[in-house]
Amino acid sequence: MEPYWEPVWLTLKLATVTTVILLLAGTPLAWWLAKTRSWGRDLVGSLVALPLVLPPTVLGFYLLLLLGPDGPLGRLTQGLGLGTLAFTFPGLVVGSVLYSLPFVVQPIRNAFEALGERPLEVAATLRASPLARFFDVAVPLARTGFLTGAVLGFAHTVGEFGVVLMIGGNIPGETKVLSVAIYDHVEALEWAQAHWLAAGMLVFSFAVIFTMYRVEKRWR
């Protein structure tokens, strides 16, 4: 039997990598969604929001097809000499990024929209270039959106199950995350181990959300 900490460590690693990728990729996407007036906005906005309503297994299923040895992306990664991503940690990251996308993009987008044009116009009249306006004004003023997005993205990735099971499987140390480990323990009637992990997760989740509310309140 693998040690306790292995799924815990794997889960934290997955959630951290996913959150960082989502903050880096989600911020420009959220900015574009908040600012553009092009017709593509609603289309892209709907695609981003899709994981909110889709059963995780559906997302996992299609990802499996896409990333698998016969899928178009699978062929691409094999052609690049990377092998297939299905049932690997990078595959899990791809799935988690897509699955948690709306939880990060939506709060940041809302924060950018709530900002309005005025602070950016003021900054422009104070000689700030577009890039400086973004980093010195938009980002700090939207910080609660970033906090909410990061926490929700992280927590949501920690809690995911369906997508992981579909595209990651159950390989100890590689793809066996917390939620899968708990499921395994229950299946094997190892109630004590399941308890440890489940209760730990409960406490952790509560602590994260509670801290987020406190920090958010102070930032307002």
Q: Rule CB under 8 A: which residues touch another protein?
A: 118-119, 121-130, 132-133, 136-137, 140-141, 143
Q: Report in angstroms how near the CB of residue 133 gets to another protein at its nearest.
A: 8
Residue placing its CB nearer to another protein in the complex, 70 or 117: 117
Amino acid letter, 114: A
Q: How far is the CB of 176 from another protein (least distance, A)?
A: 43
Closest CA to 105 of 191, 29, 216: 29
- Closer CB to another protein, 72 or 130, in the complex: 130
Q: Which lies closer to another protein via its Cβ, residue 8 or residue 108? A: 108
Q: Which is nearer to another protein, 139 or 186 (CB)?
A: 139
d(CA 106, CA 42): 13
CB of 138 to another protein, least distance (A): 10
Nearer to another protein, 25 or 120 (CB): 120
Q: 115, 101, 109, 117: which is closest to 49 by C-alpha?
A: 101
